[in-house]
Amino acid sequence: MLIHHSPESRRHVNQMINTHTKLFPGFNKEKCMACTICVEVCPAGALDLAIANSITGFRLFPVLANQDQCMGCCFCEKHCPTGAIIMAS
């Protein structure tokens, strides 16, 4: 499932971000099921998958690959089916 964001949508998100404290995603490995929805919905392409250790062993997890690209739009948090992403400043 690939979501394309229109230029108007991106401008709206950028305007919202410029008026608020910028938030960044934090990931809870125990809740994450590595579905990749967060990576797919990120309009900035700031998220990626990386191999990390968890209580069940090594597996893929989403990571904030480029903090400068992150728009703080919270799309990843809103679309996460397990609530594994929490936005924080």
pLDDT at 10 (0 to 100) = 63
List Cβ<8 Å contacts ≥24 apart for 13-22.
Answer: 13/43, 13/71, 13/73, 14/71, 16/73, 17/71, 17/72, 17/73, 20/72, 21/89, 22/70, 22/72, 22/89
Q: Taking 60 as the threshold, does the pLDDT of residue 17 lie above it?
A: no
| Domains of the chain by residue range | 7-88
pLDDT at 71 (0 to 100) = 93
pLDDT at 30 (0 to 100) = 87
pLDDT at 3 (0 to 100) = 60
**Residue 73 and residue 25: Cα distance in Å, rounded?**
10
Quote the pTM value.
0.72
Residues 37-81 have pLDDT tens digits of 999 999 999 999 999 887 778 888 999 999 999 999 999 999 999
Class of the CATH-defined domain 7-88: alpha beta
